[in-house]
Amino acid sequence: MNCSQRRLFVFVSLLALLLTAKPAAQADTCPLYPLIFPGQMFTNVPTNTVVIDVFNGVLSEDFSWVTWTGALDLPTLVASLVPPGNSTNYVNPDDPTDHEVNVGDWVVGRPGVPNSIDIRDALDDLHDTDLIVPIFDQVRGTEDAPAYHVSGFVTVKVVGYHLSGKNRISVLFLGFTDCSGNGGGDGGPGV
């Protein structure tokens, strides 16, 4: 390789590095799944603990299904359950220009889901998948149109569910997760 070829190679390599590098301030957000749990549910719970039969609802001890865009149709929920999730479609209900789920944001909840083969298949396909989901510390709105205040993130595995009647889910708690992109905190409640 002659001197000109080496310079061109170095230039192209540096250009490729610059084009693929992220700015230092850009956060690496987590791919999230459309479930949200109360943060206090995991307080003082050791990792690798199964939390059994968490009911779907708007109470402080209930889980909820969420929608990243506000759309409540079943195909949108099913698409959000396909790995790696599609939380990149998120639209903050208080700031339509915000498309990244962070601590302090609100996410729109949805009523329970029907005992649908599509939802069951999607949940069954996630059986061995570590899911990162938001946790909440406040609920606002009505039972038919709730919103949840994100207080952190956890990693869980779905180990069981029951969709007929009042939805309920059982998860293996794998720990708090930092989705801030800054390396600080543990993603736990109050972070």
Residue-wise pLDDT for 59-114, tens only, equals 888 999 999 999 999 999 999 999 999 999 999 999 999 999 999 999 999 878 88
Which pair of tokens denotes residue 158? 């779905």
Residue 190 lies in a domain: no
Residue 13 lies in a domain: no
Partner residues linked to 171 by β-bridges: 51, 158
Range of the domain at 162: 26-177
Beta strands in the chain (DSSP E): 35-38, 49-55, 64-67, 106-110, 131-141, 146-162, 168-177
Residue 11 lies in a domain: no
Q: What is the number of domains present in the chain?
A: 1
Residue 184 lies in a domain: no
* Cα-Cα end-to-end distance for the chain: 54
Residues 32 and 134 sit within 8 Å (Cβ to Cβ): yes
Residue 139 lies in a domain: yes
Q: The pTM is what?
A: 0.80
Residue 14 lies in a domain: no
3-class secondary structure, 165: coil
Residue 97 lies in a domain: yes
24-71, pLDDT tens digit by residue? 333 457 999 999 999 999 999 999 999 999 998 888 889 999 999 999
Residue 57 lies in a domain: yes
Confidence of residue 1 (pLDDT cuts 50, 70, 90): low
Do the bridges between strand 64-67 and strand 146-162 make them parallel or antiparallel, or are there none, so unpaired? unpaired
The average confidence (pLDDT) of the chain is 83
d(CA 167, CA 155): 20
